[in-house]
Structure 1
Amino acid sequence: MMITSPYAWLDSILVGWFVLTALSVAYVAWDAFARNPELKVMRWGWILVTLYGGPIMAAAYVLSCQKPAHERHEDFIRPLWKQGFGSAILSLAGDATGVFVAAAMTPALGLPMWLDVTAEYLFSFGFGLLIFPALFMRDMLGGSYGRALRASFIPEWLSMIAVMAGMIPTMVILMSRDMTAMHANSLRFWGVMSLATLIGFVVAYPFNLWLVAVIEAWNGHRACA
């Protein structure tokens, strides 16, 4: 007798979710390249987080990146909440990519859960540091990638902890309830990873908001010294 998974109904919902995700990615990519030249490195971060977080992250893009035609880019991005968004997106794009890569690879190696989680932390920090934050800061530091890495190390490490505090528990809880969700050839794996990315952003955003405020206050203190 065939055993039916109690979560089989999820597959239809996930198909619909990923159709919306594909449309969202197409829109964000078009808008970021065709209408938002100021984004530069950020455009790739937004495309990735929309790929991972679907229409919810596309809505966040519209809210925080689509400026009115009459407003200057510098004025539009000045509010602290938008700078916190940008900081969280840069961190999430790299961190989540690292987690996706590790989570897709480690089940095939048959690693125990603790080693699986360790690999996800290492990949998350590596991707998060080496790709988006460092590349974004390189232009601000005279084009030096080495200086950008050094300047990004502590903020990225702290931000990665916040992202992982949202992603890892979500993955462990949901994947332990449905073992098919542990394998990258399952639609549910990508559904869990998408939800984990969104929760990672929810946890990381307030921390990044605080981090940006601290850095701005420190820079202001130095400028007045």
Structure 2
Amino acid sequence: MMHPMSEPLFPEYLLWIWFALTALSVAYVAWDLFTSTPEMKVMKYGWVLVTLYTGPIGLIIYWFSCREPSPGTHEQFIAPLWKQTVGSTIHCAAGDATGIIVAAAITGYFGLSMGVDIWLEYAAGFAFGLFIFQALFMKDMMKMSYGQALRHSFLPEWVSMNAMMAGMMPTMVILMSRDMRAMEANSPWFWAAMSAATLVGVVVAYPVNYWLVKNKLKHGMGTERALGKGGAPIAEDPGHPAHSTAMAGMAGMHHGVPPEKRETAHQGHDMAAMPGMDMSDGAQVSGLRKAVVTLLTLAMLAVGYYLAARYGDLNMRPGEPMSMPMPMPAMPGHSM
């Protein structure tokens, strides 16, 4: 017999309303990105995936942090550090959350305990984020080989993944403990739990990504006009609305620079013009600071595991009743 707390937390029709709003949000974000907003290609797919997981909330974040308000203004619009950090966090969530969700959908069919599942999901999220969304998709932008991109991305991806999982783990376990239908990928409650977990993961991962972007250890929001594969640098397109702004920046950058050195300065303009995208100074961050932040994210992961174990059931398996009853809070005017 399942514990009463396995009853759904809200009516199922609200769940389907959320899914409908999510479909509309994904459709709009995909349409806007591939027709109007000149975001980098990898980030276009990242935004679509994250909006699929976070629904209307993802659309709101996209609207205020990435959507180009008018032609030629994307570079200026995404320049603030907080928006650069949103881009970094979305990139992290697109890779890590996708790996976690795919792993959770697969492991559910093997009847593994939640205590085993969460670490398989952690490994899958880290692998998907590092090997695909970071190293594979970003190697051309970083002008590195795949092996170099792996080494460059390992630490930023690891600390981002720790923070992401610190938020997702307890959310998934607690929600699945309250309604075990959420452990099975063929249930709408599974996707509701994953949506909630991704939202919490994004919130927890944001401060870590802020530190990474600020210290140029991870890229932020970008634009295909300067950085995307096949995107022409703005300064080379006189007909582009943003050309005059870019040329003004180039003029200021070249003022007082000898002619023989201007070509080198011009080559670096595309990266330098995009805050958060020039990661050349990341190597200046001391090993001690990196170690401290890494330990901090591991502590966050440990707290997430504690919350999952304390308020959820790590021994539960799909299709079985919980091994430990969840404590039920007393309702006002009712005795236990």
TM-score (structure 2 length as normaliser)? 0.61
What displacement does 1:71 show?
A: 4.9
What displacement does 1:54 show?
A: 0.3
Match of 2:147 in 1: 146
* SS in structure 2 at match of 1:37: coil
Does the 8 Å CA contact 2:99/2:126 hold for their aligned counterparts? yes
Point out 4+ residue stretches in structure 1 off by more than 4 angstroms: 216-223
Change (3 A) 1:221 1:170: closer
Match of 2:132 in 1: 131
CA distance in 2, matches of 1:92, 1:209: 14
Match of 1:122 in 2: 123
Counterpart code for 1:80: L
Match of 2:295 in 1: none
Task: List per-residue Cα deviations over 1:91-149 (Å, max 9, x = no partner).
Answer: 10011011111111112111122211110011000111122222443123325222222
What displacement does 1:210 show?
A: 1.4
What displacement does 1:9 show?
A: 4.4
CA distance in 1, matches of 2:53, 2:215: 29
* SS in structure 2 at match of 1:139: coil
Match of 1:27 in 2: 28
CA distance in 2, matches of 1:104, 1:39: 29
* SS in structure 1 at match of 2:7: coil
Match of 2:18 in 1: 17
Match of 1:186 in 2: 187
Matches within 5 A, 1:1-225: 6-7=7-8, 9-69=10-70, 71-142=72-143, 144-215=145-216, 219-220=280-281
What displacement does 1:151 show?
A: 1.1
Between stretches 145-154 and 115-124, larger displacement belongs to 145-154
User: Number of paired residues?
Assistant: 220
Change (3 A) 1:221 1:44: closer
Q: Which of these two proteins has the greater Rg computed from alpha carbons?
A: 2
Counterpart code for 1:52: Y
Counterpart code for 2:93: L
The percentage of counterpart residues that share the same residue type is 58
Change (3 A) 1:222 1:75: farther
Does the 8 Å CA contact 1:104/1:183 hold for their aligned counterparts? yes
Q: Which runs of 5+ in 1 are unaligned?
A: none
CA distance in 2, matches of 1:91, 1:83: 13
Q: Which runs of 5+ in 2 are unaligned?
A: 217-275, 285-336
More helix by share: 1
Counterpart code for 2:209: N
Does the 8 Å CA contact 2:66/2:74 hold for their aligned counterparts? no
Counterpart code for 1:172: V
